[in-house]
Chains A and B, each alone.
Chain A
């Protein structure tokens, strides 16, 4: 561990505490007035992977139509997408955590029999354990954060608390008071997030086709462009799809 304040210099590698503090600051910073929910959730899943040393993370929000939709994930790899797809259809830890509002742990994926299709798919790609942390504020559960570990022991209680704390920051952000009525607020926030996700998928298609990229790359470039210009991810995606900004301009960020 680094000794904070022992020297006046920034340590080359941040301690976990420093990383944790930084993650909270980044998430809190994202929550200024007119933030983009999808961008917030994208930061959240990446913070989980960085802080907890897990393999992948994804996050699903309730769609208010009786289902869950994947809103953010650390990778677009088909095997990870499938794990969320399977859960939407046949249940799984993320769905269960959203429903119950409690953390769901699968300490040994291969030996778990609660969700056979999910377990098969997860072990097939080498995940050994998984945890689903609800996005809950008081009585309202709006989704769940799903953490996947490839090897070693399942997440410690301390790590689960960190995940929970990060999820709470995002949940409070999404549910923060912005309108007079609670139901209308929640519907606006969730539907806005879901709609933004669709625009982002459309924009990814445009960028992928234009730049001969994979969907993963198309997303990173869109996100990086938005962040560098300090623009909302959803607004940039919409501008791309409406041809208000040229794909070349977005893709040029990297060259």
Chain B
């Protein structure tokens, strides 16, 4: 289940990110993923600037993307110059370099499912200004889909119909139960749940309900 470094894991994710650039009216999107060792790696940029924004942050170890991975929260910077002192205090070198690339606004979103931290996506604009409410809404929905797709890459299948699976509490409760049943990480537990639902052709929330109710258990030799 190891990711290849510096390689985008799957065409669906690129489609999602390119679509996100259009729907949020930004100039580019970049993504960094957390390696198993815990350090972020730059894996994608929709253009040269977006790629450079990712590499800069990963190399410097500072920037909105890094903060977003650490805190699990969106970090929305409307204007890298507007709040000069605050931004400079937080990311002194990055702020300077990003402005040199022409980036004026940067919006970082965590790819996170509860305690599972997968990485973060940066959306950048060459002009300052906040994301409008509908753009924010669109970005957040895409991030959910990207996080799910990253799990799918690990599960080894693709092209499922998506849907609001991650907003169902029972799925997360079931993942917690499976984590104990298998003695694995929460991430692997969720991957196993999704893989089992796919393999058995049942909706994931139905399988999750059965796990929560104790009617279905996972064992090491399940596949």
Interface residues of A (CB under 8 A from B): 63-67, 69-70, 81, 180-181, 183-184, 187-188, 191-192, 195, 197-199, 201-210, 215, 237-238, 241-242, 247
Contacts and interface: CB of A to CB of B under 8 A. Distances in A.
Contacts of A242: 115, 186
A191 B111 CA distance: 12
A66 B137 contact: yes
A195 B74 contact: no
B115 A181 contact: no
Contacts of B72: 192, 195
Interface string B163-196: 0101101001111111111000010000000000
B112 A209 contact: no
A191 B169 contact: no
Interface in B130-155: 130-131, 133, 136-137, 140-141, 144
Nearest to B208: A205
B22 interface: no
Given A180-B83, A202-B186, A195 B114 contact: yes
Contacts of A64: 133, 136-137, 140
Interface string B3-47: 000000000000000000000000000000000000000000000
Contacts of B166: 198
A210 B172 contact: no
Contacts of A203: 115, 176
Q: Which 6 A-B residue pairings sit nearest by Cβ, starting from the closest?
A: A205-B176, A201-B172, A198-B114, A184-B76, A241-B115, A209-B180
Nearest to A237: B115
B175 A184 contact: no
Interface residues of B, number: 38
A238 B69 CA distance: 15
A187 B76 contact: yes
Contact of A241 (B76, B133, B186): B186
Interface of B: 72-78, 83, 86, 110, 112-115, 130-131, 133, 136-137, 140-141, 144, 164, 166-167, 169, 172-181, 186, 212
A209 B181 CA distance: 8
Contacts of A63: 140, 167
A158 B76 CA distance: 41
Nearest to B217: A209
A199 B167 CA distance: 12
A65 B177 contact: no
Contacts of A210: 180
A69 B167 contact: yes
B65 to A, nearest CB: 15
B136 A205 contact: no
A17 B128 CA distance: 50
B114 A191 contact: no
Nearest to A219: B173
A175 B73 CA distance: 15
Nearest to A182: B130
Contact of A205 (B113, B130, B175): B175
Of A65, A69, A192, the most chain B CB neighbours within 10 A belong to A65
Given A187-B76, A191-B73, A201 B114 contact: yes
A205 B115 contact: no
Contact of B73 (A65, A66, A192): A192
Contacts of A215: 173, 212
10 contacts: A64-B136, A183-B78, A184-B75, A184-B130, A195-B110, A198-B113, A202-B115, A206-B177, A209-B179, A215-B173
Nearest to A88: B167
A251 to B, nearest CB: 12
Contact of A65 (B141, B176, B180): B141
A183 B114 contact: no
A201 B115 contact: no
A63 B166 CA distance: 12
Contact of B177 (A183, A199, A208): A208
Nearest to A81: B169
Contacts of A66: 137, 141
Contacts of B167: 63, 67, 69
